[in-house]
Amino acid sequence: MSTPYAKLPGWVEYGLVPLINLAVAFIVAGLVVLLVGENPFEAAYHLINGAFGRGEYIGFTLYYATTFIFTGLSVAVAFHCGLFNIGGEGQAYVGGIGVALACLWLDQTMPWYVVFPIAIIGSAFFGALWAFLPGWLQAKRGSHIVITTIMFNFIASSLMVYLLTRVLKPLGSMAPQTRTFAEGGQLPKLDWLLSIFGLNIGTAPFNISFLLALAAAFAVWVLIWRTKLGYEMRTMGHSPSAARYAGIRESRITVIAMMISGGLAGMMALNPIMGEQFRMQLDFVQGAGFVGIAVALMGRSHPGGIIPAAILFGVLYQGGAEIAFEMPSISRDMIVIIQGLVILFAGALENMFRPAITRVFAMRGQRAAAVVQTKGA
Amino acid sequence: MDFFHVLVVLLESTIRVSVPLVFAALAGLFTERAGVFDIGLEGKMLGAAFAAGAVAAVTQSVWIGLIAAILISVLLSLVHGYASITQRGNQIVSGVAINFIVAGSTVILGEAWFRQGGRTPALAEGARFQIINFPGADAIREVPILGPIYADLLSGHFLLTYLAFAMVPVSWWILYRTRFGLRLRAVGENPGAVDTAGISVIWLRYRAVICCGILCGFAGAYLSLAMTAGFVKGMTAGKGYIALAALIFAKWRPKNVMLACLLFGFLDALAIRLQGTPLPLVGQVPVQLMQALPYILTVILLAGFIGKAIPPKAGGVPYVKER
């Protein structure tokens, strides 16, 4: 279809269409559950109960959501500039170095509120650094950002194995991880926030980096829709040739957008390292960089959509753990399937149901017009 | 162990690990030459490996396993084709989605059907590929130089190994010497011209995507029916991405694809071989550096520092018919 799809009302565009895509993804996931020989409705019950059933569960759900807000924002910022940053995984992983270095350096002498800002800067710096090269290579040397960022994910993974087995590991220890941080390297929990609602967070690692994630979401909104840089990024994303004619310095914007994207991905490392494990372990990212793709697609690259989408994936992760516990034949890998289906239906097939929806609304529009006419006569 | 013997062993394992790369990279060659980017090679290979392992375990037939692998891989290819050709969705997003869906499904279904922690049962003799020994290989092995080359390098591989390397000239012939191949390459460069000539861009691209599925099916079947006796979860372990890197490294040319795959395979074999042994001059090279080398080389190549890799012009862009 060479004509763009007819304009739909806002609530349809940003509410109904993503919801339909999401619903289809869940129906297909339900079919997989059937294939395994289990009851999809029972699985759905455990999912919801496991995510919201208790204060502790909600704490875990929001803990996961924190991570996904960061990676979702990361992917979204690059999306706005027309770049597909598939390297959030590697950027988050390398961002962990910044967090670990700050903590290893200061944790024994400083309180958390001194270490935290330095760790934020460190994580953003290292994440941005890891995104700088692919961005620069795209801008100056014309290499495809998708391929370079994939390659950088693998390079990051090798680099981190090297660092954690040879450099950052304390002497005499066998496990590939840093030493456990002292109190200064541990973020306070947000138990008070949930206790306002009468919920007890229990052992859930829901911590102060959640507030940082919300602040980052607001900052991204300001950046994209309220600043010159954001305007230039969106122009480039919409039409690179228009941006060129308007005198926007493409390569500069590309590199900056990638560094912001990488910095946001890097900040994800604060949550698991300082908020939960209190040390840097191998594989602490656990696919969150890729979840960010699904989150950004679901949330239409808008912070207002990314936060609920991140919470949805938090629900999947926490509720998925509960399903795995209650229904032994379904492991946590169910989440990976759902994630893939969401990416497929909300991302690659986002226009599949659009013609039908557009037709429904066009018909309604005509009928409304007809009613107005008969009334006027 | 003399140097020559070490070299033969090294080259033998190079061939062994290169086979899935060759199949997968050739698979990518077909779609990408037709203008459809495919980062779902990994997922298709994994899905095929699982189907091969599962079906061969149940039917005890290596051939039915192979057919199942191809069917699943083609099916996944068609999903990718539907999303990126018919629905004109983002090809990268679709590829990522397929990788995820397969990674999750193979574990869930494997666990539900076989209950062995995501593995499929170990395959008995008839249910997996056997090594083919050339006539007189054992007798000739003692002959210096030529003996080991004939007995260990040329002989002693699986049927699929020979097929993989045979597919290189076959793919070249299809792409460069048949009408289908000519049109396929044209559709990746300038789909508008192909359309104007009255040839269906959509049908051509679908056929390219199906070719890709078949080849990925072989790659997956090799992993679970030849290299190992059964499917292990996550057994592709990034091979699909390495194949993608090899494809770029080869600048989308069949012969170069084979050489790039052999190079990456060699690096892999070398990394295993060198583990813990210091090299002259440079000292001990971290294994991780060796493992990252194919990726680093690809990045350097993409940056144009060692030649320029120019992808098919219409790659990644869905074709919209003019009205």
Residues A286-311 pLDDT 10s? 889 989 998 998 888 999 999 999 99
* Site from A86, A295, A337, A353 to mutate, B interface, most B CB atoms within 10 angstroms: A337
Mean pLDDT, rounded, for A90-105: 95
pLDDT on residue A274: 94
Cα distance from B130 to chain A (closest Cα, Å)? 32
Give percent of chain A with pLDDT exceeding 70. Answer: 97
Q: Are residues A237 and A82 in contact, defined by beta-carbon separation less than 8 angstroms?
A: yes
> Is A1's pLDDT higher than 50?
no
- What residues of A are in contact with residue B100 (Cβ under 8 Å)? 290, 336-337, 339-340, 343
Q: Can you tell me the distance from the alpha carbon of A55 to that of B52, in angstroms, rounded to the nearest whole number?
A: 45
- pLDDT of A3 > 50? The answer is no
**Phi and psi at residue A207, in whole multiples of 5°?**
-135, -175
pLDDT band at residue A4, thresholds of 50, 70 and 90?
low
Q: Nearest Cα to B58, choosing from B112, B123, B13?
A: B123
Averaged pLDDT, A332-361: 85
As for the ipTM of the complex, it is 0.87
d(C-alpha A160, C-alpha B180), whole Å: 46
Q: Is the pLDDT of residue A2 over 50?
A: no
What are the beta bridge partners of residue B157? Answer: B132
Q: How far apart are CA B210 and CA B204, in angstroms?
A: 10
- For A265, the token pair is 């991905």
What tens digit of pLDDT does each residue of A118-129 get?
999 999 999 999
* Residue-level pLDDT at A78: 95
Query: CA separation (Å) from A301 to A22, A77, A79, A225?
Result: 16, 7, 7, 12
Six-digit token pair at A253?
């914007």
Q: How far apart are CA A270 and CA A120, in angstroms?
A: 7
Partner-chain contact A333 B320, CB within 8 Å? no
Q: Which of A140-154, A332-346, B58-72, B279-293 has the highest mean pLDDT?
A: B58-72
Q: Is B323 near chain A, with CB under 8 Å?
A: yes
- pLDDT tens over chain B, length 323 residues: 577 888 888 898 899 999 999 999 999 999 999 999 898 999 999 999 999 999 999 998 899 999 999 999 999 999 999 999 988 888 888 998 999 999 999 998 888 888 887 788 888 777 788 888 787 777 777 777 777 777 777 877 888 999 999 999 999 999 999 999 999 999 999 888 888 888 889 999 999 999 999 999 999 999 999 888 889 888 988 899 889 888 988 889 999 999 999 998 888 888 777 776 666 666 677 778 888 888 888 888 878 777 777 788 888 788 887 65
Query: In sequence order, what DSSP letters do the residues of B135-193 get, joined into one string?
Result: TTHHHHTTSTTHHHIIIIIISSB-HHHHHHHHHHHHHHHHHHHSHHHHHHHHHHH-HHH
* Interchain pair B92, A336: CB under 8 A: no
Among residues B20, B43, B26, the alpha carbon closest in space to that of B234 is found at B43
Which residues in chain B touch residue A169, judged by CB atoms under 8 angstroms apart?
none
Nearest by CB to residue B302, choosing from A147, A154, A158, is A147
| Interchain contact, A147 vs B87, CB within 8 Å | no
Would you say the C-alpha torsion A300, A301, A306, A310 has a positive or negative sign? Answer: positive
For residue A191, name the pLDDT band (cuts at 50, 70, 90). Answer: confident
How many other CB atoms sit within 10 Å of the CB of residue A74? Answer: 37
**Amino acid symbol at A198:** G
As beta bridge partners, residue B303 has none
Q: Cα separation of A202 and A223, whole Å? A: 36
CATH number belonging to the domain at A61-327, selected among 2.50.20, 1.20.58, 1.10.3470, 3.30.420: 1.10.3470
Q: What integer pLDDT is reported at residue A98 of this predicted model? A: 95
- pLDDT on residue B280: 65
Residue among A144, A337, A343 minimizing CB distance to B96? A343
**Of B33, B72, B61, residue with least CA distance to B216:** B72
User: What local confidence, expressed as pLDDT, does residue B279 receive?
Assistant: 67
CATH 1.10.3470 domain span(s) along chain A? 61-327
Q: How distant is the alpha carbon of residue B320 from its chain centre?
A: 30
Q: What pLDDT does B125 receive?
A: 78
Amino acid at site A303 = P
CB contact under 8 A, B96 and A141: no
B88 interface with A at CB cutoff 8 Å: yes
- Expressed in angstroms, the distance from the first to the final Cα of chain B is 70
Token pair listed for A308: 């609920």
Is residue A106 within 8 Å of residue A51, measured between CB atoms? no
Facing A340 at nearest CB: one of B87, B91, B104? B104
Q: Output b/e per residue, B303-313; b: 16+ Cβ within 10 A.
A: beeeeebebbe
Among B79, B92, B108, whose Cβ lies nearest the Cβ of A36? B108
Burial of residue A227, with CB atoms counted within 10 A of its CB: 0-12 exposed, 13-18 middle, 19 or more buried: exposed
